[in-house]
Amino acid sequence: MATWMDSIARGWLIYELTNSSFQLGLVRGVQAVPMLLLSPIAGSAADLYSRKTQILIAQIIDGLLYAWVAVMIVAGNIEPWHVYLTSLGLATVQSFQQPSRASMVSDAVPRECLTNAFGLNAVVFNMARSAGPALAGLLIAAFGTGGSYSAQAVFYLLATIWTIMLRPERRSSAAPDGRAHRGESFGRNIIEGWKFSWRSDEVRISLLVVSIAMLLLIPFTTLLPVFARDILQVGAKGQGLLLTSMGIGALFSSVLVAFLGDRMPRGIVMIGGVALYGVLVMIFSASSWFSLSIILMFVIGLCHVTSHALIQTVIQSYSPPEFRGRTMAIFHMTQVILVIGAMLIGGLASLVGARWAAASMSLTGTILMVAIFVLMPSASKIH
């Protein structure tokens, strides 16, 4: 909730301070730097040291940063550099938090329940994605951005208390003391993680699929303001309805994944979901009917979560416990590819228009999914 609230509050705060649309994008762009540079180190740390401890430290720092921003706002001393500094700080600690948190899902449940567990995780994720920004908007309207940041700090305090209450970690490891290769250098540990991800067909294919989706398909949402205002002519309210429809589809898909679990052929659904995502974006690009676009966004949301949750499941299912932190760190590094994709589709749209930019990139992504299915027979055999 706190993280999704920040997606609204931080942009609103920097725009209040600078009135600059450029800085509105820049304050998000700087967060990609720690993710790119630190994710490999964070993955190794998740495999070498206590994952619960890393999450606790990260959450405490997150809460303190949110509280500091809230105090500076209330005191009237907030400056743009505070916003940038805390953006870098939050991205840094979240780089360490994400691999540990994702790996703990696998540590907590039997392998046969992993798909269900990630489905439930996606349910909570999408509920927070729907409720967090709305709550932030209400608090900003009533109390200003200081009210939102105060609530975000409280949420992290609660999260820290509940994390402390988690039972001690019990995970298998190659080392007798339960810590994977503690005597191994960080550099060597990182290299071994990349080597494993390349050697494992299942992990390599999953990372390839999510990278293509992040680069060519998902960035179409960057152009939603153009579609809402200039093509569908429904304004900001219509854009909100489009995103809400996508969120409802994502939530429905999360429940479906949690219910079906391992009863679905994960490889086929994973690749097929991303391919269908591309086809739907192409149809959305051509649509001039708002009602049709709403329906398409619902199905796009369904396809996105189905493929995304399954990709995480496949990576963790086929990664031994001592490698899960590193493979999940590589998975989370694809967020940097999403930033590149957003820049790419924005530049392409300025040349050929939003419709052709979204359609051409989605067509390319769909063709690549078909190529993976045809040229990599082991992809369809992933279960």
- In angstroms, the CA 365 to CA 161 distance is 43
Q: Is the pLDDT of residue 318 over 90?
A: no
SS3 78: coil
Cα-only R_g, the chain? 21
- In angstroms, the CA 218 to CA 261 distance is 24
**Per-residue pLDDT averaged across 359-364, rounded?**
94
The length of the chain in residues reads 383
What digits encode the pLDDT tens for the residues 250-267?
888 877 776 776 666 777
**What one-character DSSP code corresponds to residue 218?**
G
Region of poorest pLDDT, from 62-76, 83-97, 190-204, 282-296: 190-204
Q: Is the pLDDT of residue 158 over 90?
A: yes
Tokens of 227: 């579609």
Contact 10, 84 (CB under 8 A): no
Burial class (CB in 10 A: 0-12, 13-18, 19+), 106: buried
Q: Which of 199, 210, 338, 215 is nearest to 271 (CA)?
A: 210
What digits encode the pLDDT tens for the residues 268-307?
888 888 999 999 999 999 999 999 999 999 999 888 776 6
Contact 257, 310 (CB under 8 A): yes
Q: Measured in Å, how far apart are the chain's first and last C-alpha atoms?
A: 32
Domain architecture of the chain: domains with CATH? 2-117+128-169 (1.20.1250.20), 200-376 (1.20.1250.20)
Q: What are 81-88's contacts with CB under 8 Å, separation 24+?
A: 83/10, 83/13, 83/14, 83/17, 83/27, 84/27, 84/30, 87/10, 87/27, 87/28, 87/30, 87/31, 88/30, 88/31, 88/33, 88/34
- In angstroms, the CA 235 to CA 227 distance is 9
- In angstroms, the CA 307 to CA 128 distance is 19
What digits encode the pLDDT tens for the residues 100-132?
887 787 778 887 777 777 777 777 877 787 777
Q: Is the pLDDT of residue 157 over 50?
A: yes
